[in-house]
C-alpha cells in the first residue's frame, strides 16, 4: 500500500509544465515590439465598412475605461502574456473593426453561434457582432438566398487573403458530400468550405464538430462527417473545440491575431495552448476530493451533496484539455462539474464515442489522445489511468477498512 500511496503522491506533485508561461525577458521584449509595430500599422488603416468604434460603443453603454482595462487585463492573463501587454491588448480590442471575419455554418446545431451571442466581457457581443467586421454569417445576417450568396462573393473578393474564416460544423463527405448542400446551386458543404477557405488568411474551426467531427462523426457516422483539418490543407488552422466552444476562447483567438498577426502557439491537435494547455482535472474545484479519495458513488448520495469528486460517476476531466474549469460558461457563472455533472471530454477527438457516457476511466480502456500536448497527454494521461486506478484502490481499501471497524472488526 505505501508504494501505491507514494506512486499517487509522485504523480500529483510532479511539475505540471505543459505550457511554458515564462519564456524569458528577451522573448517578451521582442514580442512586445512586434505587437506594438502591428498595432501602429493597424491604426493607419481605416475601419472596414465604417464599422462602429469600440470607444464610442463603450461610452454609449456607460462602460468606464477602467472596466475596459480590467477586461483587457483578464484577456492578457488568459492569453498567457505578461501584465505589461495589457495596454497592447486594449489597443488590439480597439482595432477589432479592422479584422474581416467570414463565418460558415456546415453540419451543426448552431450552438457555437449561440454561445458567441451570449458571450460577455465589456459587451463582447457588441464587440464581436458590431465591432469586428463580420462580413458574412448566414444565421445571423438579414440577407438570405441569392442576396446572401452575393454578399459572400463580395466579401471574398474584397478581403482576399485577409479575412479570418471561422467554420462551425463538420464536413459531410459521404455520397460525394450530398448529405449537406448549401444555396440554390446545391454546392456541397465540402466544396463551399474549400472555395471560401482558399483566400482566407487563416481558418478557425470552432466547436467539436468543426474540429474533430463531433456528434455527427459519432459511430456509425452515416454522413461520413470529418473535421475541417481533414479537408483544408496548406492554411494556418486553429482548432477551438468544445461543445460549444467557449466564446472567451474565440475572442482570445481574434485578439491574439489582431495583436500579433499570427496564430497562437498550438498543441499537436492545433488547439491554442493558452486555452487547452491544461487538463480540466488540473484546475477542478473538486480536485482536493479526488486526492483525498472522496467520490460521489451514486447520484444524490452524501458525496454528491458534499460536492465530492465525480470521477466514479464517469468524469473525464483527467483526460480532457480545456480551460472551462477556469473561465467557466454563461458569463463565468458556472460550468458542468460545478453543477454536479462530470466532464464528458467534449474538447477531445471522438469524445462522443470515447468519453461521453458514464463509466469510470480506469475501466474504459481509453487510449490517450493522439500526440498529446508535448509528452503529457500520452505519458501523463496514460500514467494517470494507472494512478487513478491506484487512487480508487486506496479509496476501496479505506472503505473496506472503515467497514471493518463498523462491523466491530480489528482496526
Q: Which residues are annotated as a binding site for [4Fe-4S] cluster?
A: 109, 209, 243, 281, 284, 309, 315
Of 95-103, 185-193, 256-264, 311-319, which part binds ligand SF4 (CB under 6 A)?
A: 311-319
> Could you tell me which stretch among 1-9, 68-76, 225-233, 305-313 binds ligand SF4 (CB under 6 A)?
305-313
Beta strands in 112-258 (DSSP E): 133-137, 164-168, 171-172, 181-182, 187-188, 202-206, 225-226, 237-240
Q: Which residue, 115 or 134, has its beta carbon nearer to ligand SF4?
A: 115
Q: DSSP code of 317?
A: G
Cβ 57 to ligand SF4 shortest distance, Å: 30
Nearest residue relative to ligand SF4 (C-beta): 317
Judged by CB under 6 A, which stretch of 21-29, 149-157, 227-235, 318-326 contacts ligand SF4? Answer: 318-326
Using the minimum distance from each CB to ligand SF4, give the nearer residue, 193 or 310: 310
Nearest CA among 319, 322, 109, 336 for reference residue 210: 109
Query: Exactly one of 78, 88, 128, 309 binds ligand SF4 (CB under 6 A); which one?
Result: 309
* Contact between 78 and ligand SF4 per CB under 6 A: no
The C-alpha atoms of residue 14 and residue 380 are separated, in whole angstroms, by 10
Tell me if 326 contacts ligand SF4 by CB under 6 A. Answer: no
C-alpha cell, 182: 448549401
Longest dimension (CA), the chain: 81
Strand, helix or coil at 382? helix
- Stretch of 171-179, 209-217, 307-315, 394-402 contacting ligand SF4, by CB under 6 A: 307-315
What does the DSSP 8-state code read for residue 407?
T
Tell me which residues in 228-267 interact with ligand SF4 (CB under 6 A). 242
Task: Rank residues 42 and 280 by Cβ distance to ligand SF4 and give the closer one.
Answer: 280
Length reported for the chain: 411
What is the residue-wise DSSP string for 102-147?
EEEE-BS-SHHHHHHHT--SSSHHHIIIIISEEEEETTTSS--HHH
Is residue 287 within the footprint of ligand SF4 (CB under 6 A)? Answer: yes
- Cα separation, 184 vs 145, in Å, equals 7
Per-residue contact string for residues 349-388; x = within reach of ligand SF4 by CB under 6 A? ----------------------------------------
**Best CA proximity match to 189, nearest among 175, 172, 214, 206:** 172
Of 170 and 347, the one with the shorter C-beta distance to ligand SF4 is 347
Whichever of 177 and 345 has its CB closer to ligand SF4, that residue is 345
User: Smallest distance, Å, CB 323 to ligand SF4?
Assistant: 9
Q: What residues form DSSP beta bridges with 272?
A: 266
**CB of residue 316 to ligand SF4, shortest distance in Å:** 7
Q: How many residues bind ligand SF4 (CB under 6 A)?
A: 25
Residues 284, 325: Cα–Cα separation, whole Å? 6
3-state secondary structure of 225: strand
Q: Which residues pair with 134 in a beta bridge?
A: 101
Which set of grid coordinates corresponds to residue 213? 467531427
Between CA 255 and CA 263 the distance in angstroms is 10
Q: Binding of ligand SF4 at residue 293 (CB under 6 A)?
A: no
**Residues in CB range of 131: below 8 A, 6 or more apart:** 51, 52, 53, 54, 57, 96, 97
Asked if 324 is part of the footprint of ligand SF4 (rule: CB under 6 A), the reply reads yes
Site string for ligand SF4, 116-155 (x = CB under 6 A): ----------------------------------------
Q: Is 337 in the site for ligand SF4 (CB under 6 A)?
A: yes
Measured from the CB atom, the residue of 136 and 290 that comes closer to ligand SF4 is 290
User: Collapsing DSSP states into helix, strand and coil, what is residue 295?
Assistant: strand
Q: Which residues sit at the interface with ligand SF4, rule CB under 6 A?
A: 242, 280-281, 284, 286-287, 290, 309-311, 315, 317-318, 320, 322, 324, 335-337, 342-347
Amino acid at each position: 500500500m505505501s508504494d501505491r500511496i507514494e506512486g499517487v503522491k509522485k504523480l500529483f506533485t510532479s511539475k505540471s509544465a505543459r505550457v511554458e508561461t515564462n519564456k524569458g525577458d528577451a522573448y517578451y521584449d521582442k514580442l512586445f515590439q512586434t505587437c506594438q509595430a502591428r498595432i501602429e500599422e493597424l491604426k493607419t488603416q481605416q475601419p472596414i465598412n465604417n464599422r462602429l468604434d469600440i470607444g464610442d460603443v463603450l461610452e454609449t453603454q456607460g462602460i468606464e475605461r477602467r472596466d475596459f482595462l480590467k477586461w483587457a487585463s483578464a484577456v492578457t492573463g488568459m492569453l498567457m502574456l505578461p501584465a505589461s501587454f495589457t495596454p497592447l491588448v486594449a489597443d488590439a480590442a480597439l482595432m477589432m473593426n479592422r479584422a474581416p471575419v467570414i463565418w460558415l455554418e456546415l453540419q451543426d446545431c448552431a450552438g457555437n453561434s449561440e454561445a458567441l451571442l451570449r458571450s460577455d466581457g465589456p459587451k463582447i457581443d457588441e464587440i464581436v457582432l458590431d465591432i469586428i467586421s463580420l462580413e458574412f454569417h448566414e444565421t445571423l445576417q438579414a440577407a438570405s438566398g441569392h442576396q446572401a450568396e452575393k454578399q459572400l462573393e463580395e466579401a471574398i473578393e474584397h478581403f482576399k487573403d485577409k479575412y479570418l474564416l471561422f467554420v462551425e460544423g463538420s464536413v459531410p463527405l459521404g455520397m460525394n458530400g450530398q448529405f449537406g448542400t448549401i444555396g440554390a446551386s446545391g454546392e456541397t458543404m465540402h466544396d463551399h468550405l474549400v472555395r471560401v477557405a482558399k483566400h482566407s488568411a487563416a481558418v478557425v474551426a470552432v466547436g467539436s464538430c468543426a474540429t474533430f467531427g463531433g456528434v455527427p462523426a459519432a459511430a456509425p457516422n452515416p454522413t461520413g462527417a470529418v473535421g475541417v483539418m481533414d479537408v483544408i490543407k496548406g492554411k494556418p488552422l486553429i482548432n477551438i473545440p468544445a461543445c460549444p466552444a467557449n466564446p472567451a476562447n474565440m475572442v482570445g483567438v481574434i485578439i491574439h491575431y489582431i495583436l500579433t498577426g499570427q496564430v497562437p502557439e498550438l498543441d499537436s491537435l492545433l488547439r491554442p495552448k493558452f486555452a487547452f494547455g491544461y487538463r480540466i482535472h488540473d484546475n477542478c474545484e473538486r480536485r482536493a476530493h479526488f486526492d483525498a479519495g472522496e467520490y460521489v458513488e451514486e447520484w444524490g448520495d452524501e458525496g454528491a451533496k458534499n460536492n465530492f469528486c465525480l470521477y466514479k460517476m464517469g468524469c473525464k476531466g483527467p483526460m480532457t484539455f480545456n480551460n472551462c474549469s477556469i473561465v467557466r460558461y454563461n458569463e463565468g457563472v458556472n460550468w458542468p462539474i460545478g453543477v454536479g455533472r462530470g466532464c464528458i471530454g467534449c474538447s477531445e477527438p471522438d469524445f462522443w464515442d470515447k468519453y461521453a457516457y458514464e463509466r469510470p476511466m480506469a475501466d474504459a480502456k481509453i487510449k490517450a489522445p493522439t500526440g498529446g500536448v508535448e509528452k503529457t497527454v500520452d505519458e501523463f494521461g496514460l500514467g494517470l489511468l494507472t494512478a487513478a486506478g491506484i487512487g480508487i484502490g486506496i479509496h476501496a481499501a479505506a472503505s473496506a477498512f472503515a467497514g471493518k471497524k463498523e462491523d466491530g472488526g480489528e482496526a
